[in-house]
């Protein structure tokens, strides 16, 4: 797989070089090519290379001339920074991109919703749980109107809200949200879907924090059993769920 991404990056950089050497230079094509090269590097977890390509593309953008092109590049930079764990830098850029995209293409556009989602997650990772909660609630309201209550993206946003509530110490509110998401996820995605199982695991963590060990163990077991069947016993998620199940069983004893 890395070989494929290496080749994709090589071809993209060659295309970028050709576009820049054209007379006149084809900046839009070069920007697209540099961004493709960056995504290939990002897939290889070569974040420094990805940022290098995106920074070259950034020089070619002009926020006044084409705000959409600028926002796309900045969003990509923030994505890589977030993956690097540089949440402060990512959130700062995402705030700026969100402000731009709320004007055009508008607050309900998929690109704007994606920006708000990534910003909310960056805020959670910064420990700014109250701000994250606000962003997730706004996102959910928009997605329920644009997509629908049962759309997978809306469910993912509600999962994010529950995570922000949980990490902010609002365990009872988080538990309520996780239970609602599980119920809808079972209907929309199925009881054995990885997202459903992940939410069961998150609910188990929440219940553990509330000292409801027996029910926490039940949800952890459900997540572990489902993941074993769907993902296999060696999958990292299966091992994570099983570890929690065993920990809870020991505490029950």
pTM: 0.91
The Cα 109–Cα 193 span in angstroms is: 27
- Separation in Å, CA 62 to CA 17, 52, 59, 66, 114: 19, 18, 8, 6, 22
pLDDT for residue 3: 75
Q: What is the pLDDT of residue 251?
A: 80
> What is the C-alpha to C-alpha distance for residues 95 and 125, in angstroms, rounded to an integer?
15
Q: Indicate the length of the chain as a whole number.
A: 253
Q: Which residues of 132-145 are buried (b: 16+ CB within 10 A; e: fewer)?
A: bbebbeebbebbee
181 CB-contact burial (10 Å; exposed 0-12 / middle 13-18 / buried 19+): buried
- Which phi-psi region, left, alpha or beta, contains residue 85 (left: φ > 0; alpha: ψ -120 to 50)? left
What's residue 38's pLDDT?
97
pLDDT value of position 253: 59
Q: Which of 137, 201, 193 is nearest to 165 (CA)?
A: 137
User: Which residue's entry shows tokens 């644009």?
Assistant: 146
Choose among 208, 126, 129: nearest CA to 162: 129
Q: What is the pLDDT of residue 1?
A: 64
How distant is the alpha carbon of residue 54 from its chain centre?
19
| Segments in the chain below pLDDT 70 | 1-2, 252-253
Cβ atoms 134, 126 nearer than 8 A: no
What is the spatial distance between Cα 196 and Cα 156, in angstroms, rounded to a whole number?
Answer: 10
pLDDT tens profile 81-126: 999 999 999 999 999 999 999 999 999 999 999 999 999 999 999 9
Q: Is 23 helix (H, G, I), strand (E, B) or coil?
A: coil
Could you give the dihedral angle defined by the CA atoms of residues 32, 34, 36 and 37, in that order, rounded to the nearest 10 degrees? Answer: 170
Q: Hey, is 234 helix, strand or coil? A: coil
């Amino acid at each position: 797989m890395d070989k494929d991404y290496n080749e994709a990056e090589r071809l993209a950089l060659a295309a970028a070089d050709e576009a820049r050497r054209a007379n006149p230079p084809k900046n839009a094509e070069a920007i697209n090519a540099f961004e493709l090269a960056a995504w290939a590097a990002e897939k290889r977890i070569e974040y420094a290379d990805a940022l290098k390509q995106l920074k070259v593309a950034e020089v070619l953008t002009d926020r006044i001339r084409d705000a959409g092109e600028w926002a796309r590049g900045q969003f990509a930079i923030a994505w890589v920074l977030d993956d690097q764990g540089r949440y402060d830098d990512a959130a700062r850029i995402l705030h700026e991109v969100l402000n731009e995209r709320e004007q055009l293409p508008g607050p309900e556009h998929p690109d704007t919703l994606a920006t708000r989602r990534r910003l909310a997650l960056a805020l959670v990772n910064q420990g700014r749980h109250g701000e994250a909660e606000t962003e997730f609630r706004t996102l959910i309201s928009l997605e329920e109107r644009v997509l629908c209550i049962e759309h997978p993206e809306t469910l993912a946003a509600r999962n994010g809200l529950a995570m922000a509530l949980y990490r902010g110490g609002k365990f009872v509110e988080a538990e309520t949200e996780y239970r609602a998401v599980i119920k809808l996820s079972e209907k929309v995605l199925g009881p054995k879907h990885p997202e459903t199982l992940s939410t069961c695991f998150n609910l188990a963590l929440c219940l553990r924090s509330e000292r409801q060990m027996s029910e926490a163990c039940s949800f952890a077991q459900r997540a572990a059993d489902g993941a074993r069947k769907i993902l296999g016993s060696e999958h990292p998620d299966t091992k994570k769920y099983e570890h929690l199940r065993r920990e809870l069983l020991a505490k029950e004893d």
